[in-house]
Homo-oligomer: A and B are copies of this chain.
């Protein structure tokens, strides 16, 4: 199995405030082609530091992917660093300059001296075309390792990886079948609870690796066939049998976790509920207080959501709750805006006023201020109104404002999911109520 390392270049990635996201999709693309990423590193815009990172990586991996530092500005030094380490001096590549010139001309711009620098590549490098931007990428061979440099701009790197890099790696015979891994997204159980419930399902042979990862969006369970076993089985040509057993294990785990399973293999909560709404031909309207539009935003992120999302109302103000949703002033006065009664009235109100099938509401205290002994920060009520009536669920979340709103949005969507998929909006058992236990946060 080919192993790879990813180096993200950029001082901004070290100083904080900005995170390297390119390595996410690169890791995924590589895994789909059987290449395992074993190390990722981040270095600043410094020729020497990049050189050290490349030298270390080349020692361990057959493939080193570098992203960033290919731009036109003075702090873009990846080309220099690779030239320096590999001893392959930079030379002007006419084909690279041509494509830079063409792209700038088509936008009515001329090539500046800085932009011209981008066409200087290490001698003998293979040019990787940038069909989404200006900076060309390249790949060089050095010490039995392939070093490929992609732009830091995400959509450019993505396109270059698919269109130019993967074909190059395929021709070099570095790609193979995917690493077998499956993931199950859950909501409503703590990491430790899941561990206790499914640890016994894994064969003692160590043929599978279990990974648990908690976040405000729930715990994700990953099952990966161990590399050693994968290699052994490939030799014995009993891949089918082994693959069956990963599916069988998945089945057993999903049965054990039951309705707390949100999705498999990466579908998000909003995609799950969106597809279900779409399939059942149901429309929805949202009434959000403390989540401030986050649920509407998450639902409408899914392409095609205009078919089932009718509208959303963000009613931070009590007057807005009355005017837009018809929540009565005496009710607000009697129970307060953060109450099961108001959550229910909001869901019913938005459903009735927008003539949709489902009304979903959230009201709560996101903090940092506004909490009381009786109604602490993190207290959230979710309301669900359908043709069958209305129900509410109470949650208590911990963390900062952002974490509380994110958890609240996920809990509300989960109430909807349980109703759509299992006919029951019962809130999950361990959902944020009680201590954080052994769970991990984002």
**Chain A residues near B (Cβ < 8 Å):** 10-21, 23-28, 31, 37-45, 49, 52-53, 56, 60, 71-75, 103-104, 106-107, 109, 112, 114-115, 133-134, 151-156, 181, 183, 191-192, 195-196, 199, 209-215, 220, 222, 224, 266, 286, 288, 291-297, 299-301, 303-306, 309-317, 319-320, 323-324, 353-354, 367-370, 399-403, 405, 434-442
Contact = CB atoms under 8 A, between A and B. Distances in A.
B42 A16 contact: no
Given A71-B438, A155-B441, A438-B115, A312 B300 contact: no
Contacts of A44: 38
Q: Which 7 A-B pairs have the closest CB atoms?
A: A292-B300, A293-B296, A293-B293, A312-B314, A107-B435, A16-B28, A311-B320
Nearest to A369: B303
B181 A15 contact: yes
Contacts of A400: 155
Contacts of A399: 155
Count of chain copies: 2
A365 to B, nearest CB: 11
A17 B24 contact: yes
A434 B39 CA distance: 38
A24 B18 contact: yes
Given A74-B210, A107-B434, A115-B438, A293 B303 contact: no
Nearest to A315: B311
A202 to B, nearest CB: 10
Contacts of A222: 11-12, 15
